[in-house]
Chains A and B, each alone.
Chain A
Amino acid sequence: EAQVTQNPRYLITVTGKKLTVTCSQNMNHEYMSWYRQDPGLGLRQIYYSMNVEVTDKGDVPEGYKVSRKEKRNFPLILESPSPNQTSLYFCASSPRDRGLGLYFGPGTRLTVT
């Protein structure tokens, strides 16, 4: 089944404890991206990747890191999480020839206390 997967789906952590949210797609998509969803703000782009080893900042990259060592994986890293990073996170992917019509993962609800 073609899909985007994320893990974990739910995470409660404490300020400053490094964490990684994994994202994987099995559709051979070139483009992958991370978004955070907050009430009243819609989805905001954190980072995106056009292909392996090619990444760039979105609108809200502060406090986040990403890497794209393999085409299928695009992990999101929070080196020192803070409470303002409490949010719902979505990974998404898209084939190059589909413009940027996105396939979203199921989401990861992160709480930082």
Chain B
Amino acid sequence: GENVEQHPSTLSVQEGDSAVIKCTYSDSASNYFPWYKQELGKRPQLIIDIRSNVGEKKDQRIAVTLNKTAKHFSLHITETQPEDSAVYFCAASRGFKTIFGAGTRLFVKA
């Protein structure tokens, strides 16, 4: 079946550094790519998304890039802060179906 691979599974950075999380999807018909942040014990929350007709999108310290040819998209967090520590999930959607990556646990060390 279709799947989304997410790497790395764990990422540790120093406060102020950048963090990059990468995802690859298998369904070439996917056309919507959201990213969610889940803090410990909380629900996932949408932080940024990108559609298949856009190559890059930025919102303050976070940005997402999409390479449709390679079926690859990435989340970039700049100037990381301790409150960025969480699990991040990428997802790929086609129609009404959404497939999530397995998640990346990000630790930001103060």
Q: Is residue A81 within 8 Å, beta carbon to beta carbon, of the partner chain?
A: no
Q: Is residue B46 within 8 Å, beta carbon to beta carbon, of the partner chain?
A: yes
CB pair B102–A41 under 8 Å, yes or no, is yes
Closest B residue, CB atoms, query A49: B96
Q: A58-B97, A100-B93, A101-B49 are in contact. Are A43 and B43 (CB under 8 A)?
A: no
CB pair B98–A45 under 8 Å, yes or no, is yes
Question: Of A10-18, A63-71, A104-112, which stretch is located at the interface?
Answer: A104-112
Q: Which B residues between 46 and 79 are near A, CB-CB below 8 angstroms? A: 46, 49, 51
Q: Is residue A19 within 8 Å, beta carbon to beta carbon, of the partner chain?
A: no
Complex interface: chain B residues within 8 A of A101 (CB): 32, 34, 46, 49
B contact patch SS: strand
Complex interface: chain A residues within 8 A of B103 (CB): 42
16 A/B residue pairs, CB under 8 Å, sorted by A: A35-B100, A42-B6, A42-B89, A42-B101, A42-B103, A56-B96, A59-B1, A99-B32, A99-B51, A99-B93, A100-B98, A101-B46, A101-B49, A102-B46, A102-B98, A106-B43
Report which B residues bind A (CB closer than 8 A). 1, 4, 6, 32, 34, 36, 43-46, 49, 51, 89, 91, 93, 96-103
Q: Is residue A27 within 8 Å, beta carbon to beta carbon, of the partner chain?
A: no
CB pair B43–A104 under 8 Å, yes or no, is yes
A34 CB to nearest chain B CB (Å): 12
Complex interface: chain B residues within 8 A of A31 (CB): 96
